[in-house]
A and B are shown apart, each in its own frame.
Chain A
């Protein structure tokens, strides 16, 4: 069974940093692109970033480019999201997801809540 478990969420002050982790199991992690998607309270889904199997390609949504960094460790079967210069509008549930090729998602984690507030 494919499992994706996010951790590292919490409360952070504006301008601060936070690192999310996503531990995976149940599939060959090194064979899949991985993504991060977020959802602000009461709002729709927003793509944040994705990363190729070997980490050689990374792409970001416009609202996080230059502030967030996606990375992965295939030995640990984990993907990470380093979030810097956080703003109030970054407050959201952040989902880790497994990609189908590099064009969509076939499995989602349960999400981790990030709250940016003073």
Chain B
């Protein structure tokens, strides 16, 4: 079955840039989405369709795509950005969704 691969964890200091990658064979053809989930809360979309930022999401969140890898970049990380981040996309059939395993971002 189709898989999306993310690093399980990442640590950054406040003010630094965090780049979280997500790899999958169908990513050149299918959009990727990024969700932020803070402890005990429901997920929130921070990037949709590879690089679009929803209203209300800070400008420090951005998304990009290159080949089979998509990247969520958080510029000038703040303490409130500490959370689990999940990428999500669709397999080559266009119907079966898949989530990456999640990346736990720790702000030191």
- Contact between B33 and A44, CB atoms less than 8 A apart: no
Binds A, one of B11-19, B73-81, B96-104: B96-104
Residues of chain A within 8 A (CB-CB) of B97 are 35, 47, 50, 59, 61, 103
Partner of B99 from A44, A59, A111 at Cβ < 8 Å: A44
B31 within 8 A of A: yes
- With A45-B86, A45-B88: A108-B101 Cβ-Cβ less than 8 Å: no
Residues of chain B within 8 A (CB-CB) of A35 are 97
Complex CA–CA separation, A111 to B42 (angstroms): 7
Number of interface residues of B (CB under 8 A): 28
- Contact between B42 and A100, CB atoms less than 8 A apart: no
B20 to chain A, nearest CB (A): 14
Residues of chain A within 8 A (CB-CB) of B43 are 45, 95, 105, 108
- Contact between A106 and B96, CB atoms less than 8 A apart: no
- Contact between A103 and B102, CB atoms less than 8 A apart: no
Number of interface residues of A (CB under 8 A): 22
- Contact between A62 and B1, CB atoms less than 8 A apart: yes
- Contact between A108 and B99, CB atoms less than 8 A apart: no
- Contact between B42 and A110, CB atoms less than 8 A apart: yes
Complex CA–CA separation, A107 to B55 (angstroms): 12
Complex CA–CA separation, A37 to B35 (angstroms): 13
- Contact between A108 and B42, CB atoms less than 8 A apart: yes
B72 within 8 A of A: no
- With A50-B97, A100-B49: A44-B102 Cβ-Cβ less than 8 Å: yes
Binding site for A on B (CB under 8 A): 1, 30-33, 35, 37, 42-45, 48-49, 54, 84, 86, 88-90, 94-102
